């Protein structure tokens, strides 16, 4: 037995596939069902998968297959699809833009600065919360798989647990990307490269700006 919203969604997906052969985007599904956020769409799709109505096709963005057609009655409400321009295909991935705040040292700390550039990021790489991006400069985190030129995707938060990779602002002027640990009364920022030494600071000298949530890498 499907809930009303689950039934509306499976009908909408089935109609769109029959009409265009392409799955609707998460934004279109959100608008069609009058949901407040795309997280609600994710939950509905997961529920339909569990009930055997839908299947996500692997390695293909926005690829949904209806494997069990919904029962349709005259009383069933079907959301009206939003107007869609079909002259150009929509992007294959749901993408969000987050602020790109310049470069951050993964070696010796460099001066932190704010920028106005926005970086498009696949929504699947981000969880809940507010995020920003920093371009990595240096090689002190290579043993954690973080390389010079990578984009570190950071979830904003002011606290961290031992062992988490964080952006730490040192004396309100320099930022660095390191493992965060307590060591007695001190804060220790550990690199992931044996060529570098840990950095130790008094708690008042260090402010956590966020925790590493993901990475983007360019291949050129």
CA neighbours within 13 Å on the CB side: how many for 59? 0
Query: What CATH number was assigned to the domain covering residues 95-216?
Result: 2.10.109.10
Q: Which of 140, 173, 211, 220 is catalytic?
A: 140
Cβ neighbours of 97 (radius 10 Å): 11
For the chain, where are the alpha helices, taking DSSP H only?
Answer: 4-20, 26-32, 38-50
Q: Which residues of the chain have pLDDT under 70?
A: 58-62, 73-93, 106-116, 220
Q: Is 96 left (phi over 0), alpha (psi -120 to 50) or beta?
A: beta
> What pLDDT digit, counting tens, does each position of 180-212 carry?
999 999 999 999 999 999 999 999 999 999 999
Whole-angstrom Cα distance, residue 90 to residue 139? 37
In this structure, CATH architecture of domain 4-66: Orthogonal Bundle (1.10)
The answer to whether 38 is a known catalytic residue is no
Q: Is 161 exposed, middle or buried (0-12, 13-18, 19+ CB in 10 A)?
A: exposed
pLDDT given at position 88: 39
Q: Which of 5, 30, 178, 211 is catalytic?
A: 178
Nearest to 140 by CA among 63, 72, 59, 197: 197
pLDDT given at position 198: 95
The answer to whether 173 is a known catalytic residue is no
Query: How far is residue 178 CA from its own chain's centroid?
Result: 20
Give the residue range(s) of CATH 2.10.109.10 domains in the chain: 95-216
Query: What is the per-residue DSSP string for 75-97?
Result: T---PPPPP---SSPPPSS-EEE
pLDDT given at position 179: 96
Give the residue range(s) of CATH 1.10.10.10 domains in the chain: 4-66
DSSP conformation class of 152? E
């Amino acid at each position: 037995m499907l809930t009303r919203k689950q039934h509306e969604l499976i009908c909408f997906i089935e109609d769109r596939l029959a009409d265009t052969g392409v799955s609707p985007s998460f934004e279109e599904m959100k608008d069609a069902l009058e949901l407040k956020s795309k997280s609600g769409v994710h939950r509905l799709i997961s529920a339909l998968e569990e009930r055997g109505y839908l299947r996500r096709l692997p390695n293909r963005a926005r690829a949904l297959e209806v494997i069990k057609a919904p029962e349709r009655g005259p009383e069933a409400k079907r959301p009206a699809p939003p107007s869609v321009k079909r002259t150009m295909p929509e992007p294959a991935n749901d993408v969000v833009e987050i602020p790109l705040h310049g470069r951050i040292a993964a070696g010796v700390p460099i001066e932190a600065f704010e920028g106005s550039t926005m970086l498009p990021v696949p929504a699947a790489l981000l969880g809940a919360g507010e995020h920003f991006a920093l371009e990595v400069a240096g090689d002190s985190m290579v043993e954690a798989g973080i390389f010079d030129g990578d984009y570190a995707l950071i979830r904003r938060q002011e606290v961290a647990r031992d062992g988490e990779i964080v952006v730490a602002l040192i004396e309100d002027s320099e930022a660095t990307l390191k493992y965060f640990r307590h060591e007695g009364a001190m804060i220790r920022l550990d690199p992931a490269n044996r060529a570098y030494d840990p950095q130790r600071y008094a708690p008042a000298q260090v402010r956590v700006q966020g925790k590493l949530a993901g990475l983007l890498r360019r291949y050129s």
